[in-house]
């Protein structure tokens, strides 16, 4: 057996290549949209990718099933009940697929979504399970959340109860030694307590995972539905897009390079200007109206919080990172990248009327002067679970994924200070506010961590 796990840190995504070296037959499970690595690795190992298995309709990224199928001729498989605009070879509960000696078995495990499946891997028919790919049903340290909009027509209570039965009637019946390979890791909004570990075993999770402790079904429903992070704004769009035919991504295709002469045209198209440089660099000087979404953070996810699907986008990056920015946006289905604005420092030097700076305040300074500013609005853009550790008493909680839709409820002329956990999301949020006409906005250096230290 050939087994490879791929990790995409910026989306906390795991995908897999499984092949049989005696026959050269292989499958890819839950591929990311840029598929070059699977094609290269399969060719190097002498494998033919004949099937793409999706464990469910993903909400947090646009999958690469169409790109991979176009490149290889492979069939696309989902679980029972899945329907899409493109042909699907649905896998029934318990259906086994032979790659030669290597055998895969599909387990219907509804809960995260109605069509969710897991894939049991055996090195030979009749062997004990070697491992199981659990998609978004079971993570290391957590289980899949049952409340995402991708499950339209199902309540979180209904899906949580189905998840409970999928875990106890299917996954927990596997031997404790079965290796466990999840669909996501720490940082994903598809759960709330995921580990940084890339793999585990059924036995380890049986004893350490909070959601698998002995409890009633009702207690399980309460445990897995409370304290979930706010779903990023683009999730409903991506979940729908994964069911549809669409244009294919060429992940080697660089975006057009834009100069000063292109600015007015892009603005007339109502393009969003996303600046991927570090917050401190952005604060020192940026294109007026641009939004700071650092490339070295969770770029695609956070970009999906400040731009709407289908909106034209212009990226601003450090030299040489333009294609990276385009591909990372494509991973969530944001394909309308009009181009990359190059040589931003020269543009700002030549046209200071286009330049803006960002105010950033030290935590001790905010704590000292905030009580003397009765009109000051302090925004906490962290998720609900993060606020459990504490928050400033006068702060207004508005998680970053809800800020764009809630701008109309805020007063643009009121002074605003924004904080998050460490200072990245606050820079994003503050720049979003400025881009929508808020005139007096600052964010807190170091975020809640710095505020706690300064208190």
CA atoms lying within 13 Å on the CB side of residue 228? 22
Tell me which H or E stretch contains 429. Answer: helix 424-435
| DSSP code of residue 111 | S
- Model confidence at 149, in pLDDT bands (50, 70, 90)? low
Q: Alpha-carbon distance 7 to 81, whole Å?
A: 28
Helices (H), 279-370: 279-284, 299-306, 322-330, 344-350, 363-369
How would residue 147 be classed by pLDDT, with cut points 50, 70 and 90? confident
Contact 56, 115 (CB under 8 A): yes
Task: Please name which of 66, 14, 78, 75 lies closest in space to residue 48, comparing C-alpha atoms.
Answer: 75
Local confidence band at 168 (pLDDT 50, 70, 90 cut-offs): very high
Q: What is the pLDDT of residues 85-104, one digit of tens each?
A: 999 999 999 999 999 999 99
Q: pLDDT for 24-40, tens place per residue?
A: 999 999 999 999 999 99
Which pLDDT score is estimated for 228?
A: 83
153 pLDDT above the threshold of 80: no
Confidence of residue 455 (pLDDT cuts 50, 70, 90): confident
Q: In 3-state terms, the chain is what percent helix, strand and coil (to 5)?
A: 35, 20, 45
Predicted pLDDT of residue 280? 97
Q: Which three-class secondary structure state does DSSP give residue 327?
A: helix
Q: How confident is the model at residue 155 (pLDDT cuts 50, 70, 90)?
A: confident
Is residue 105 within 8 Å of 119, Cβ to Cβ? yes
Question: CA nearest 40: which of 81, 79, 68, 15?
Answer: 68
- Answer yes or no: is pLDDT of 152 > 70: no
Please name each of the domains of the chain with its CATH number.
2-241 (3.60.15.10), 257-356 (3.40.250.10), 359-454 (3.40.250.10)
Q: Phi and psi (nearest 5°) for 407?
A: -60, -35
Q: What is the pLDDT of residues 185-199, one digit of tens each?
A: 998 988 888 999 999
Bridge partners (DSSP) of residue 76 are 52
Mean confidence (pLDDT) of the chain: 95
Q: Which helix (H) or strand (E) holds 403?
A: helix 400-403
Q: Which of 341, 334, 328, 330 has its CA nearest to residue 295?
A: 328
pLDDT in tens, 262-318: 999 999 999 999 999 999 999 999 999 999 999 999 999 999 999 999 999 999 999
**Mean pLDDT along residues 104-126:** 97
Whether 154 shows a pLDDT value over 90: the answer reads no
Q: What is the pTM of this model?
A: 0.94
């Amino acid at each position: 057996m050939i087994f490879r796990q791929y990790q995409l840190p910026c989306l906390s995504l795991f995908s897999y290549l499984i092949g049989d070296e005696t026959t050269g037959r292989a499958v890819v499970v839950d591929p990311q949209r840029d598929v070059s690595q699977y094609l290269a690795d399969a060719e190097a190992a002498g494998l033919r990718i004949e099937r793409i298995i999706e464990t469910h309709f993903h909400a947090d990224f646009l999958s690469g099933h169409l790109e991979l199928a176009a490149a290889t001729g492979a069939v696309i498989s989902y679980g029972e009940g899945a329907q899409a605009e493109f042909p699907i070879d649905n896998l029934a509960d318990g259906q086994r697929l032979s790659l030669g000696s290597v055998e895969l078995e599909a387990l219907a495990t509804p809960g995260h979504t109605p069509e969710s499946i897991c894939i049991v891997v055996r090195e030979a028919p009749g062997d004990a399970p070697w491992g199981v790919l659990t998609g978004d049903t079971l993570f290391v340290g957590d289980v899949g959340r049952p409340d995402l909009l991708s499950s339209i027509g199902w309540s979180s209570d209904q899906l949580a109860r189905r998840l409970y039965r999928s875990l106890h009637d299917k996954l927990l019946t596997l031997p404790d030694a079965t290796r466990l390979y999840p669909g996501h890791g720490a940082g994903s909004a598809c759960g709330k307590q995921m580990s940084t570990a890339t793999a585990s075993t059924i036995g380890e999770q049986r004893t350490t995972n909070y959601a698998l402790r002995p409890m009633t079904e009702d207690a399980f429903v309460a445990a897995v539905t409370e304290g979930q992070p706010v779903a990023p704004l683009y999730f409903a769009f991506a979940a729908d897009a994964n069911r549809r035919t669409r244009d294919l991504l060429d992940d080697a295709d660089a975006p057009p390079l834009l100069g000063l002469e292109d600015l007015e045209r892009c603005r007339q198209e109502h393009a969003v200007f996303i600046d991927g440089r570090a917050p401190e660099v952005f604060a020192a000087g940026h294109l007026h109206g641009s939004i700071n979404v650092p490339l070295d953070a969770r770029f695609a996810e956070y970009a999906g919080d400040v731009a709407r699907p289908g909106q034209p986008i212009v990226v601003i990056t450090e030299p040489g990172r333009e294609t990276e920015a385009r591909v990372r946006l494509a991973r969530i289905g944001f394909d309308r990248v009009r181009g990359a604005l190059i040589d931003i420092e020269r543009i700002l030097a030549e046209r200071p009327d286009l330049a803006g700076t960002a105010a950033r305040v030290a935590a001790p300074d905010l704590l000292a002067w905030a009580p003397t500013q009765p009109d000051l609005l302090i925004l906490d853009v962290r998720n609900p679970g993060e606020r459990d550790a504490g928050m400033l008493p006068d702060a207004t909680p508005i998680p970053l994924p809800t800020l764009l839709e809630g701008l109309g409820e805020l007063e643009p002329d009121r002074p605003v200070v924004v904080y998050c956990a460490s200072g990245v999301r606050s820079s994003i949020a503050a720049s979003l506010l400025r881009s929508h006409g808020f005139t007096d906005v600052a964010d807190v250096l170091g975020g809640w961590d710095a505020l706690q230290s300064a208190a």
